[in-house]
Amino acid sequence: MCANGVASLDQGSENGSSFPAFRTSPLREKVLGEVHARPLRPLGSPRTVLHYAFLTGVQEAAEDHAWLNEFCVSRGGHGPAPGARHHRLSFGGGTLSWEQHAEFTTYTWDGAARSETLFGSVPASHPFGAAFRAPGDLLVAVRLEVRGSEDIQDWRERFDAGSLTVSEVEDSAALVATDFRQDGDGLTRFLVLNRSLSDVRLGAVVQRLLELETYRTLAMLGLFKATDLQPEIRRFEIELAELTEQIKESSGLGANQKLLGRLSEMAAALEAGATASAFRFGASRAYDGIVKARLHALKEKAAPGDLSMAAFLTRRLTPAMQTCQATEDRQAMLSRKLARATTLLRTRVDVELEDQNSKLLQSMNRRAHLQLRLQQTVEGLSVAAVSYYVVGLIYYLAKAATETGLPVPDANVTTGLAVPVVLLLIWWLVRRIRKKHDDH
Write the DSSP assignment of 10-37 as a string of letters. HHHHHTT-SSPP-PPPTTHHHHHHHHTS
Question: What pLDDT score does 12 carry?
Answer: 46
Question: What pLDDT score does 7 carry?
Answer: 43
Question: What pLDDT score does 8 carry?
Answer: 42
3-class state of residue 401 by DSSP: helix
CA distances to 366, 376, 377, 386 from 372, in Å = 10, 6, 9, 20
Question: What pLDDT score does 9 carry?
Answer: 40
Question: What pLDDT score does 139 carry?
Answer: 95
The tens place of each residue's pLDDT in the chain, 440 residues long, gives 444 444 444 444 445 556 677 888 888 877 776 666 666 778 888 889 999 999 999 999 999 999 999 999 988 888 898 888 889 998 878 899 999 998 999 999 998 887 677 888 888 888 898 889 999 999 999 999 998 876 677 888 889 888 999 999 998 999 999 999 998 889 999 999 998 999 999 999 999 999 999 999 999 999 999 999 999 999 988 888 888 887 777 777 777 777 888 888 888 888 888 888 899 999 999 999 999 999 999 999 999 989 999 999 988 899 999 999 999 999 999 888 888 888 777 777 777 777 777 878 888 888 888 887 777 677 767 777 788 788 788 877 877 877 777 776 777 777 777 788 878 887 888 777 777 766 66
Angle between helices 309-403 and 253-298 (to 10 degrees): 150
Report whether the peptide linkage leading into residue 46 is cis, meaning its omega lies within 30 degrees of zero: yes
Strands 94-100 and 165-169 turn out to be unpaired
What beta strand segments (E) does 258-373 contain?
A: 301-302
Name, in order, each residue with C-beta under 8 angstroms of 170's C-beta and a sequence gap of 6 or more. Answer: 197, 201, 205, 298, 299
Question: What pLDDT score does 295 carry?
Answer: 93
Question: What pLDDT score does 36 carry?
Answer: 66
Question: What pLDDT score does 291 carry?
Answer: 94
Radius of gyration of the chain (CA): 46
Strands across the sheet containing 165-169: 86-91, 94-100, 104-112, 47-55, 137-148, 188-194, 174-182, 165-169, 301-302
DSSP type of residue 136: S
Residue from 380, 381, 386, 379 nearest 422 by CA? 386
Strands 47-55 and 137-148 turn out to be antiparallel
Question: What pLDDT score does 6 carry?
Answer: 43
Angle between helices 309-403 and 221-249 (to 10 degrees): 40
